[in-house]
Structure 1
Amino acid sequence: MESTAKASPSKHIVESNDDLLTEILLRLPLVSLHEFKSVSKRWCTLITNPYLILRRSRNPSDPSSGLFFRIWNSSEYYFVPLDTRIPVPLILPFALSLNSSKVKIMQSCNGLLLCHTRPNYEFIVYNPFMNRFQTIPQSPYSKPRYGFGGFRMAFDPSKSSHYKIVCAGVVINNNNTLDIQIQIYSSKTRDWSVLSHDRRCILFKGFKYGLYWNNGIHWLNTRNRNWHMMLDINDKHCFKTRAQLVPEDGKASRDQKLFESRGCLFLICSQNKPKQLIVYEMSKWDSGWLVKYIVCLSEIIMPSPKISGKSASWFRSRVRSIVNGEKDEDSFLVMKMCRKIFRYSIGLKTFFKLHELGPVSYSLDSFQFIASVAAV
């Protein structure tokens, strides 16, 4: 009783001091913040305060919290947490329900989701952690054709709470030639600007699958996946091609995909002789790809004997995310196989079933989720 009485004043001091409570919340796991938002309105206000989330975002200690999987031909998304302390996944009728429009996630970028609505064809930036969104105004410039491009988002909470939307598309010039036109929307100025390039349209094939890393939009050219392209979206908006990746056998592999995790850019590809997955990491100086991990598929224990004979390309196509751990042994792949989501530990060479998706069909799209803040 005596010890309880002595603890009560300290507990009261913590609960009544917003600054002290904020410092404690900053040090809690992300999953705890989600749970503590329901404690009270005051706690929810503190946890969703842009100042707190911005400070957390500047610390890269939190990896991805989970993935959104879209239910086929629907606006519903299935959230699969990667943190095993969250007991049950959630089926989410997407939080945005504007004018009964169907909402589709196009890209995730450091906690923000770029979404597209139908039938009104609006673009929306949504922060699921704060449950806030902003509709992107239509560009006053000519509407490009998007067959060779698309819309991508750039957001780095460690540098700014504002984001940019980059639109790359083909336009017809007065002399009937085709150019790539790049339009950029800034949430800071809330305005569009335009930048034209007399570049071959073929270079922008695959741009719509690009991701943001290190001040640029990176994508693999779908015409030739040995081409790693990058659009610098700093003030100069330079267009650059990046290092070619040539596999060890000298043949260009079309089975490659880019991933980003905790400030690192990864590329994963498959190889059948020997049967393995190779994970490359872009060097810190953007000078080229370096081998980070090699997953020898013949040496690991498969979660089901039915898939042990599958090709390396099949396993690569099932990878939905790469999570970069603080140590190499903490890194893992997230894979969707046999209607289940598995976590494959690269260091331990073991599979762990995170969740079973059930009989519902899901699209190939999946999107990472982490907590962040932006001017929405």
Structure 2
Amino acid sequence: MSISSVVIVGAGQAGFQVAASLRQGGYTGAITLIGDEPGLPYQRPPLSKAYLLGKIKADNLAFRPATFFSEQNIELLHTRAVEIDRQNQNVVLANGNSVDYDHLILATGGHNRLLSIPGDDVEGVYGIKTLADADALSPRMSAASNVVVVGCGFIGLEFAAVAAALGKSVQLVDRGDRLMARAISHEMSALFLNAHQSWGVKFHFNQGVSRITHANGKVTGVVKENGEELPADLVVYGIGIIPNITLAAEAGLEIDNGIKVDANLLTNDPHISAIGDVACFPCIHNNGEHTRIESVPNAMDQARSVAARLLGKPSPFIATPWFWTDQGNLKLQIVGLSTGFDTTVTLGDPSSQQFSVLCFRKDHLIAVESCNRPSDHMAGKKLLSRPAELTISEASTPGFDLKAWEIAHRT
């Protein structure tokens, strides 16, 4: 079936990438990219680190300059999509206009999970999701002395590292018993804990936050669930995101921890795909279970997969998931999904901050975590993109070199 018009809702990494990949692949039909933020589509990972440190300016965040969109004939609309009319195949916009589509791609991403506690709306309490968030936070960051971070996932820890580097007193509160508990092994978690503590960050594990104290409309402290109050003139939270499913749900698309799609990233409507943080897809790296992955590489890989399908080259989405986070002088790179691992093998010395953890499930390598060991990360990506035969016994051999083993066992 010929597709003469593609509409993309969401102008983040996934939405931009699918538009660019379509043009790169030779698609000549109409492309409309709908984003509800002003300005050009931009990259978000630097917002919680390099951008706040002033190492990258707003102009350098854009994926491409304005000329790219005009030259590639990609119509960029700065408005909000409010309804999908599946019967007539159009998207209704907040400004009252509508855009027709032959194929619709939902790349609506997610929004910050809110603290939802008394005082969370006072001045000095921020989440970091958009450029506007970072711009509002920046001047407060400069003036702050006592910073409390709620949530020790990637975003919270990236920000904590930045605040500590700027000489702030930083305390971090999390309900879990260790940092990045949902994402990494105990061994890697311990390395990052030691590093953050060496930078002066103080941790409060197994604790939630019950309320924000304030005076004259400005934050003064954070009260933990045990009643202890931490002084704060700035509070930043990163407690996860909630997928933006409202548009899809109201249109009758199937929802399951996001917008549910098949192996080709198609929804239950054959004219609509979903990609990126909002898409819940059957993941071969998670025993085929429907999985939603929040990462830039996943967004880009899914965008390319959908573009290829629309260009007449369909194939199931099987890309190996990978992630990264930069915290201070530490770069953590993860390939694979470590859910359900039962054995780990470590490579290197954590005290040197060049360290990798191989995660196995039933003697099958399922994930590689690497801190400042890029060669291990690259070897892990290659191994996990094919049936990996590395055993726990082999990996535990003294002097084992993951890169060398991968090269020796290429087929």
TM-score grouping bracket, smaller chain normalisation: under 0.3
The normalised TM-score by structure 2 is 0.24
Structure with greater strand percent = 1
Structure with greater helix percent = 2
